[in-house]
Amino acid sequence: MKLTLANVKSLKQNSDNALTKRVCNYVIDEWGNYDDKKNIFSDVLHYGCQSGTVGFLIYYRDTLAFYKKYQDESNELLSESMANMGLYDFSDIFGDKWDKEDPLIRDCSNQNLLAWFGFEETLRNIGLNFEALEQEI
């Protein structure tokens, strides 16, 4: 599929996943800020949300609210990713950033990581729909 605004809007409209709809909105909102639309995806996927490229996922108050709102979708993505990679420990994905003393994900640092993970993986999954992004993802 071609990377067009109409196709991004179509993916959003045809999705029943709230996180996918939110990330599509991010792409739609950023569309006019980029000459090369692939960079909407590559900036996030190469540098991560931790770089500050996603303005509404910089501060803890925002990432924690995002995680709480999209917790089910983010957890499902994490579960699928871990199963696909044959991993059984969160620290296998997040390394030393994962707070092992918070296994129930009640504290802000792990919720922050999962907010970023959910956003980034959803953006990656959206990008997989577009031929122009095959080399980027």
Which pLDDT tens digits describe the chain residue by residue (137 residues)?
Answer: 999 999 999 999 999 999 999 999 999 999 999 999 999 999 999 999 999 999 999 999 999 999 999 999 999 999 999 999 999 889 899 999 998 888 888 889 999 999 999 999 999 999 999 998 887 77
Its pTM stands at 0.93
| Per-residue 3-state assignment (H helix, E strand, C coil) for the chain | CCCCHHHHHHHHHHCCCHHHHHHHHHHHHHHHHCCCCHHHHHHHHHHCHHHCCCHHHCCHHHHHHHHHHCHHHHHHHHHHHHHHHCCCCHHHHHHHHCCCCCCCCCCHHHHHHHHHHHHHHHHHHHHCCCHHHCCCC
Domain boundaries, the chain: 5-132
